[in-house]
Amino acid sequence: MARAGFITGLVSEADCLIPFIDPSNLRAAGIGPAAAERCARELIAQGCELLVSFGLAGGVAAGVIPGSIIIVETVVAPDGQTFVAHKELTDALIRSIPGARGVRLAGSSTIVASPSDKALLQQRTGASAVDMETHHIARCARDAGLDFVAVRAIADPHDARLPDAALHAVDETGVPVIKRVIGQLARRPWDLFALLRLASYARAAHASLRRVAPVVVGAANRL
């Protein structure tokens, strides 16, 4: 059996895994690719043999709706490098999680906030979704001669704009900062309805992550 290390960006994503995992094999990296890479290297150094990217993703193609679960088959980094996830485990997760679909994921070094930017990314990469962590996790796994898998829940559809308040909703450690959100809304009160809609999407995505967490942990640790 492989020892699997799990990496999330947000603390709320990590909370979905905590009931099912040894905490020493879990890292809530915080925001951005560099943080994900640091945590991946920590888990590799402590003996993990498989890296699992787990959390939210943004939709960049039609058909991936908020709350849906995607299993990453291939991730495309911003520099065009591609990384292929562990096929046996990826296929097993697609079979065992109702409604899950295998997709190509785009990696980004920044939040992709507008429908036009999402469309451009989709055209360039052929991806269905985007996140900021998985491509660095995949690169660390490859450099160490290990495998990776990625399980993500869609938190915003391809045609949704992320309001400025959402872009400042968490700090660098992945913890929500309500004061930042209130400050942004004070400057742009017309963003309130978009923010409330995004919050409903995020609740659906987190509910999906909680639903699949025991399946993903069990499958990864049985590899």
User: What's the farthest any 2 CA atoms get from each other in the chain?
Assistant: 52
Distance of CA 58 to the CA centre of its chain: 8
- Candidates 55, 46, 126, 50; CA nearest to 88 is 50
Evaluate whether residue 119 is within a structural domain: yes
Domain residues for the domain of 13 are 4-159+202-222
Contact criterion met (CB below 8 Å) for 125 and 104: yes
CA dist list (Å): 71 to 100, 166, 212:
7, 25, 11
Angle between helices 33-45 and 134-143 (to 10 degrees): 30
Q: What tens-digit pLDDT sequence spans the chain (223 residues)?
A: 679 999 999 899 999 999 999 999 999 988 778 899 999 999 999 999 999 999 999 999 998 999 999 999 999 999 999 999 999 999 999 999 999 999 999 999 888 989 999 999 999 999 999 999 999 999 999 999 999 999 999 999 999 887 665 555 555 655 555 566 556 655 775 566 776 788 899 999 999 999 999 999 999 988 7
Q: What is the pLDDT of residue 32?
A: 75
Sign of CA dihedral 16, 128, 43, 215: positive
Torsion of CA 127, 221, 54, 72, to 10 degrees: 0
Q: Does residue 183 form part of some domain?
A: no
Q: How many distinct structural domains can be found in the chain?
A: 1
> What integer pLDDT is reported at residue 181 of this predicted model?
52
Any domain includes 180: no
Entry field: residues in the chain: 223
> In this predicted structure, what is the pLDDT of residue 169?
57
The per-residue pLDDT for 190 is 55
Can you give the CATH number for the domain in which 104 is found?
A: 3.40.50.1580
Residue 173: its pLDDT value, please?
Answer: 58
User: Does residue 120 sit within a domain?
Assistant: yes
**Is 164 contained in some domain?**
no
SS3 of residue 214 by DSSP: helix
Q: For 21-42, give the secondary structure using H, E and C.
A: CCHHHEEECCCCHHHHHHHHHH
In a domain, 108, yes or no: yes
Question: Is 72 part of a structural domain of the chain?
Answer: yes
Identify the residue whose tokens are 């990625």.
150
Whether residue 181 lies inside any domain: the answer is no
